[in-house]
Structure 1
Amino acid sequence: MPSVPRPLRKLGFLTIGLFDPADPARGHESTLELVELGERLGFDSAWVRQRHLQYGISSPVAVLAAASQRTRRIELGTAVIPLGWENPLRLAEDLATVDVLSRGRLNPGVSVGPPMHYERVRDALYPDTAGAEDFGYARVRRLLDLVRGEPASDFSGTEGFEVFSDAVQPHSPGLGRRLWYGGGSLRSARWAGEHGMNFLTSSVVKAEHPEGPYDFAELQLSLVREFRAHHPDGAAARVSQGLVVIPTDSATPAQRAKYAEYAARRLPRTGAPQGPTRLLFAPDLVGTSEELAERLRADAAFREVDEVAFALPFTFGHEDYVQILTDMATKLGPALGWRPAG
């Protein structure tokens, strides 16, 4: 039997924060302005992607530190920080600092695996230890332990005029419950649940069975259920869905044409698994809020969640994002049972 859709409790959005290399400040300012707009519109959360050696946000923690000083209520997340690029101890310090600055609004999402194009960056990233680095779940486990207050050193106390702690400082007690894992496989969903994390599921999943089926929503639903089956909170464990959703209610004819062309260009990759890792992509959803709400309510995975972080398309302009976010908050969200935060 199909599950009954839950009213949407939390509405968020996700942006990559692209910028022109000739004027990177403007692109970063655009991202901060979108976060501020999201708060004014009543969104519950704003999330940023991370891109290395590209023209997108390379330091989401720094961007969210700035956002924390320009907002007062909206939650701030990363979707996701690939831990292969990070030292868990240093990242734990940065995350805790931003959480303190934001007064407990940070939602860090992370993932594992070797850095993209590792063979090309390994000598710059890990010149002395490239062959020994572990890019598996143990890296997440270290971050979890450090954020949750486990010792990072065997020494604490006073040395001369300086006072030392054996744990990461500052310590933000609630941050350990707001760590998210971004995963697309059953193994990742299970691991995140067993370790008490929250779960981010995006518009990409792994098609793990060669014979199919290749129904994206059903595969994503299996991840949600696997995660909750292994989480201490069971059905109450937090899952956020991150599809690309583009409402067109107030869009101009030119914008509608651009959005439709964007989705059509990306549609061929949705029919079958792609590449050696067999990634399956969800179709981008474009239409009026009424049409989108109907399609989402028919989505098997959407019916299992009550919070989302809809992804903004990569290559649009600032004015396009303003229109999309405004329609999301004023049209689509309410059509899904959501109420803007005050």
Structure 2
Amino acid sequence: MSPTSRPLRKLGFLTIGLFDEADPRRGHESTLEIIELGERLGFDSAWLRHRHLQYGISSPVAVLAAASQRTSRIEFGTAVIPLGWENPLRLAEDLATVDLLSGGRLNPGVSVGPPMHYDRVKEALYPDTADVEDFGYERVRRLLDLVRGKPATDFSGVEGFEVFSDRVQPHSPGLGGRMWYGGGSLASARWAGEHGMNFLTSSVVKAEGSDEVAVDFAQVQLSHIRAFRDRHPDGENARVSQGLVVIPTDSATPEQRAKYEEYAAKRTPRTLSPQGPARLMFAPDLVGTSAEIAERLHAHAAFREVDEVAFALPFTFEHEDYVQILTDIAARLGPALGWRSAA
């Protein structure tokens, strides 16, 4: 291990939970089986992506409620819930409920911004308020306040036979400290730090403050991590999790290795320069043996400053592929990065 890298303390994985429209139950069951496998392999956390009006998990909180009853140790996360689709008060109730059911294992990750294809869904989502909805940081602040137990109303007490609370119920006391912000910009990193959240940084960031085509992804991501910690009350101890796509091939069949390499090759062109008006930068997928991937990660400027990861599983692979990839991560890649299994 490189002397400039932090030993990896927490190892997690992230999945989108794809399913076939003709048999959605099977896809959801596959996701639950993968989470159970993750616990057996010793992973510290399992994270779910969030997809609306697509063939991926639309309700990760509900899926994680099911997962909480089939596991006992592994932590759960969402990476991330786009708050533009949510009512903060109702979401706070759901998050607290699942956190209690899981025994305090939930790590909700959220983000802001208008829902994808907003002009096409706003009539279904906000038929009466579409033009006045606020999709900025204020929506996160409202959620944080409600999760952390601040009053949601000025009324509490007994009315007839009913007893009312002025704050969200149930209340899970530790959940407020396990809220994560998924950010890809300096503004998001700073806001998350200032509001005492944890910070999720993924394989997508914004190239800011430079017109150079050859701007380096790792350096941009590093600047976000440092900006977050500069503003966070915990400073250098503030929690950051990195979510790159890694595909170890140690135990893969020749057919699997060919598929993985083809997948990464198709996605490589987008990693060569900032994309679109937002100048989005994509990290290359890391495919190879665990030793090769570990070497590349130790050379990654941003990876060297984190001790938690949630490696992203590719979207379109089969269940058996995920089993192989997770097994290699837990048995080979994690230890090569200084991680010790919880199994």
Shorter chain as denominator, the TM-score bin is over 0.9
Separation (CA, whole Å) in 2 of partners of 1:217 and 1:88: 33
Question: Given that residues 14 and 312 in structure 1 are in contact (C-alpha distance below 8 angstroms), is that contact kept between their aligned partners in structure 2?
Answer: yes
- Give the equivalent residue in structure 2 for 1:8: 8
SS in 1 for 2:199: strand
After superposition, the C-alpha distances for 1:138-172 in whole angstroms (9 at most, x for unaligned) are: 00000000000000011000000000000000000
**How many percent of aligned residue pairs carry the same amino acid?**
82
* 1:162-177 matches, cutoff 5 A: 162-177=162-177
Tell me the equivalent position of 1:194.
194
**Alignment correspondent of 1:233:** 234
Q: Could you tell me which amino acid in structure 2 is paired with residue 249 of structure 1?
A: D
Letter of the 2:242 counterpart: Q
Question: Secondary structure at the residue paired with 2:200?
Answer: strand
Within the alignment, does 1:36 sit opposite 2:36 as a pair?
yes
Name 1:148's counterpart in structure 2: 148
Q: Which residue of 1 aligns with 2:261?
A: 260
Q: Which amino acid aligns with 1:248?
A: T
The letter of the residue matching 2:236 is: A
> Which 4+ stretches in 1 moved above 2 angstroms?
none
The 1:200–1:67 alpha-carbon spacing in structure 2 relative to 1, beyond 3 Å, is same
Distance 1:193 1:316 in 2: 35
Q: Indicate the residue corresponding to 1:134 in structure 2.
A: 134
> 1:87 maps to what in 2?
87
Change (3 A) 1:330 1:3: closer
Number of the residue aligned with 1:115:
115
SS in 1 for 2:76: strand
Gaps of 5+ in 1: none
| Cα offset, 1:210, TM superposition | 4.1
Of 80-89 and 274-283, more deviation after overlay is shown by 274-283
Shift of 1:209: 2.6
Equivalent in the alignment of 1:65: 65
Equivalent residue, structure 2, for 1:337: 338
- CA offsets per residue over residues 208-258 of structure 1, 9 Å max, x none? 134235100000000000000000000000000000000000000000000
Q: Which letter maps to 1:326?
A: T
TM-score under structure 1 length normalisation: 0.99
Residue pair 1:3, 1:304 contacting (<8 A) in 2 also = no
1:19 aligns with 2:41: no
Q: Select between 285-294 and 203-212 the one with higher mean Cα deviation.
A: 203-212
Counterpart CA distance in 2 for 1:273 and 1:18 is 28
Q: 2:307 matched to 1:323?
A: no
Do residues 311 (structure 1) and 312 (structure 2) align? Answer: yes
1:330 Cα shift?
A: 0.2
Query: What secondary structure sits across from 2:150 in the alignment?
Result: coil
SS in 1 for 2:275: coil
Q: Which runs of 5+ in 2 are unaligned?
A: none
3-state SS in 2 of match to 1:81:
strand
What is the alpha-carbon distance in structure 2 between the residues aligned to residue 192 and residue 178 of structure 1? Answer: 12
Structure 2 distance, partners of 1:257, 1:5, is 31
Q: Which amino acid aligns with 1:130?
A: A
Equivalent residues, number: 341
